[in-house]
């Protein structure tokens, strides 16, 4: 892969964003990186905006409430299709981010996660996030992942859904291209999957956009540690995954890049069904039954109707296993604390119920003070 960058478009090849070097390069000037890293180790509490469950206007209002209730980030899922057909939603994540940005003042906004490799051209994603970075300075991040067939097949991807090796290769190349474009220089990019010719993004925030890399295993976690401004994972998969695989891999990748895990925002989406009514706390998880399907099912089913049918056949006990289900605040915090102890500093809470206002009120009253005391 060759990348040529320069204001005057010189005709020599520059390897500054080659595969090896780009993995070591995170966005920002040295002063900005130092300032950013000072805050990476601090405990932060965020909100997961579930675009698969709520329409765009309601989801904007919920995010505004999240800021009012003291949360520090709101990350949104980026789905073309939801996990279930009946009652499902799939508003466009970037339009939602802009709307929330206009209605809020301090909350960090980002995707968790977006796939910049199939239905999107990474150059266009780089342009979109550069624009939002200027509109909402120091508030925008781009969370990326390797993709799901559910969202990409429906929009025209032909052939068999690619194996992980190709999806991971596309992701790395997309990140390289976006960072090259965020320099603001003319970019000739000649990759295996993506190409640009004399491409420039004319409106770019100083330092570009922080890239958070989602990982479910050590290979991508190592890449996140080496090349990411942030790392994203999800809860409910057994603590050994986090303590023995993911976090050590992030640390290993960071060390290879000459930095530490404290230079990286370590985000986890915590699946939390908390309500003072224990029956409601359990029942609220039912909408998200698709999360309890096997990885093979989630990667092979491309129709929300089929996904819903498979998920609704699961018993509530199996569905709830992916969630921290609690009605006592101390018990809830006791189950959240191991993730903090594992080294994850940015806790983004995904609540499954329809009444998100109730969840935010209960969270601020019962859980936030206890969690902040741990930080």
Residues recognised as catalytic: 79, 148
Instruction: For residue 220, say whether it is annotated as part of any ligand binding site.
Output: yes
**Is 216 within any annotated ligand binding site?**
yes
| Phi, psi for 119 (deg, rounded to 5) | -75, -10
Q: Judge whether 219 is annotated as a binding position.
A: yes
121 is in an annotated binding site: no
Known binding residue 78? Answer is yes
18 annotated as a binding-site residue: no
Query: Does the annotation flag 237 for ligand binding?
Result: yes
Distance in angstroms between the alpha carbons of the first and the last residue of the chain: 43
- Residue 217, marked binder: yes
Binding residues for coenzyme F420-(gamma-Glu)n: 78, 115, 146-147, 151, 216-217, 219-220
Q: Can you say which residues are annotated as belonging to the binding site for substrate?
A: 234, 237, 298, 322
């Amino acid at each position: 892969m060759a990348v040529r960058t320069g204001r005057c478009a010189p005709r020599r090849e520059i390897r500054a964003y080659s595969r090896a070097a780009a993995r070591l390069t995170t966005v920002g000037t040295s002063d900005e990186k130092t300032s950013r890293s000072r805050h990476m180790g601090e405990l932060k509490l965020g909100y997961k905006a579930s675009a698969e469950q709520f329409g765009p206007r309601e989801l904007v209002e919920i995010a505004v409430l999240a800021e009012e209730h003291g949360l520090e980030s709101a990350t949104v899922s980026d789905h073309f299709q939801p996990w279930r057909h009946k009652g499902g939603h799939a508003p466009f994540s970037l339009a939602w981010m802009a709307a929330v940005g206009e209605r809020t003042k301090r909350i960090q906004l980002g995707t968790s996660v977006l796939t910049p490799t199939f239905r999107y051209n990474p150059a266009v994603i780089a342009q979109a996030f550069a624009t939002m970075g200027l509109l909402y300075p120091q508030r925008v991040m781009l969370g990326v992942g390797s993709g799901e067939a559910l969202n990409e097949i429906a929009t025209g991807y032909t052939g068999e859904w690619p194996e992980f090796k190709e999806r991971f290769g596309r992701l790395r190349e997309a990140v390289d291209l976006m960072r090259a474009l965020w320099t603001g220089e003319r970019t000739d990019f000649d990759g295996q999957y993506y190409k640009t010719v004399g491409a420039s993004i004319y409106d770019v925030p100083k330092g570009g956009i922080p890239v958070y890399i989602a990982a479910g295993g050590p290979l991508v976690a190592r890449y996140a540690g080496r090349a990411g401004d942030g790392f994203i994972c999800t809860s409910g998969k057994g603590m050994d995954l986090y303590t023995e695989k993911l976090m050590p891999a992030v640390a290993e990748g960071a060390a290879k890049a000459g930095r530490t895990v404290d230079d990286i925002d370590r985000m986890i989406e915590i699946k939390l069904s908390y309500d003072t009514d224990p029956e409601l706390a359990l029942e609220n998880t039912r909408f998200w039954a698709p999360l309890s399907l096997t990885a093979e099912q989630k990667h092979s089913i491309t129709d929300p109707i089929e996904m819903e049918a498979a998920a609704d056949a699961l018993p509530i006990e199996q569905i709830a296993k992916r969630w921290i289900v609690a009605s006592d605040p101390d018990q809830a915090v006791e189950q959240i604390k191991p993730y903090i102890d594992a080294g994850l500093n940015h806790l983004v809470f995904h609540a499954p119920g329809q009444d998100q206002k109730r969840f935010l009120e209960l969270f601020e009253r019962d859980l936030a003070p206890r969690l902040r005391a741990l930080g």
